[in-house]
Amino acid sequence: MSRPRGPLFWILVTLGGVSALCCSGSLGLMALGFFATSDTATPVGNSGVARGGTPGEPGGFGLDAPQGWSQREGGGFITEWKDRGDTLGVELIPLGSVPGLGDAEARLSRMWSERIGADWNDVKPNPLVLRRFVANGARAHFTSATVSHKGNGRRFRLSLYLVEAGDRLESLVFIQSYVSEGGVVAAQGMMAESSWGTSHVRVEDALKGVRGSPVGLPLVTDSEVTGSFVHGSTTTGQWVNTFTGGTTMRAVTSRSDYVFKPDHAFQFKYVGGSGPAGAMAFGTESDTGTWSVKHDVLTLAGAQRTRRYLLIGAARTPEGKRTLFLMPEHPGWSLQPGAIGMSGELYVEKE
């Protein structure tokens, strides 16, 4: 059946308790100096740098210079280019090592609130922490959001990654920027929002040169998937007849329940409705079968049909509940903001 859906979450592509920055405001200053330094920076090849061991081995971490980027003073890389008259840019800043691998999500969340919140406005606490693989199959924990600079009010897309590297986490920050000639700050903010999907392509290019260790571990373990989870959404809209003054309200609502059992059996129930308030049409769907996780894909082999989801996180809510962030299968599976199919569903552990 066709399932009505409400608005879905955007994937927030891409930044624990140890700060690698020496002084408050330094990330903001880096962003302000982005275009001032990029013109004079010395280009580098693609040989890259590695520290702490051989990439892919226990303790190894590698960061290659993104091809076509320039090296920034103090470490890291920057790039900028013209796009239909606007200037887009991305800056990659390594922040150093965080000892240990435990509680990566909590560490990232704390660093996001304390370190990033000190330098930027609009930094929300308790961000959704997602996971992904870097170039060689090592795991990374990440979050991102659009923030504003405390000095000039400009909007930036800020992302933080914690890459697993043996007995530590290597932290990387990406700053996506947008500049348009003229225009008021508010208008530039809206145009900047629409540019993140375009500049995120360069973020993905840079991540091709990131390697951690060990490799071959599952992105989300079976024990994290096992349990009962629910996802629900509701959207309402109101229309006004400009001739008669009459109003019409329509709504779309849905709820999906999954039970993933330890023996890899699953149960699925769905109920959804849409239509004018007071006269909504509802539909239901249910299924049973087996579930499995391979690499970063959750496959549900049901009696009714087979479903596949990209698994990109199993963080906990501020209240401590487990979650699963699932992106339904789509030919263009991508973490690029605004991409077709770039929507996910956050399933929260039931009471």
Tens of pLDDT, residue by residue, the chain (351 residues): 434 333 223 333 333 333 233 333 344 434 433 333 333 222 222 223 333 344 445 568 999 999 999 999 888 999 999 988 889 999 999 988 999 988 899 999 999 998 888 889 999 988 989 999 999 999 999 999 999 988 888 899 999 999 999 889 999 999 999 988 765 555 667 888 889 989 999 999 999 999 999 888 889 999 999 999 999 988 777 777 677 777 777 888 899 999 999 999 999 999 998 888 777 888 999 999 999 999 899 999 999 999 999 998 898 888 889 999 999 887 777 777 755 445 688 999 997
Question: What pTM value is reported for the model?
Answer: 0.78
Number of domains making up the chain: 2
Residue 4 lies inside a defined structural domain of this protein? no
Judgement on whether residues 176 and 261 belong to the same structural domain of the protein: no
Judgement on whether residues 181 and 255 belong to the same structural domain of the protein: no
User: Does residue 255 contact residue 5 with C-beta atoms inside 8 Å?
Assistant: no
Residue 71 lies inside a defined structural domain of this protein? yes
Judgement on whether residues 180 and 313 belong to the same structural domain of the protein: no
Q: Which of 176, 211, 246 is the last residue of a domain?
A: 211
pLDDT for 338: 57
Judgement on whether residues 201 and 241 belong to the same structural domain of the protein: no
- Which structural domain range is residue 316 located in? 222-349
pLDDT for 186: 56
pLDDT for 302: 97
pLDDT for 250: 81
pLDDT for 308: 95
Which parts of the chain are beta strand (E)?
Answer: 9-10, 49-51, 61-63, 70-71, 77-83, 86-99, 120-121, 130-133, 139-149, 155-165, 168-179, 210-211, 227-240, 247-260, 265-276, 281-294, 297-302, 306-311, 323-328, 343-349
Judgement on whether residues 174 and 279 belong to the same structural domain of the protein: no
User: Does residue 80 contact residue 88 with C-beta atoms inside 8 Å?
Assistant: yes
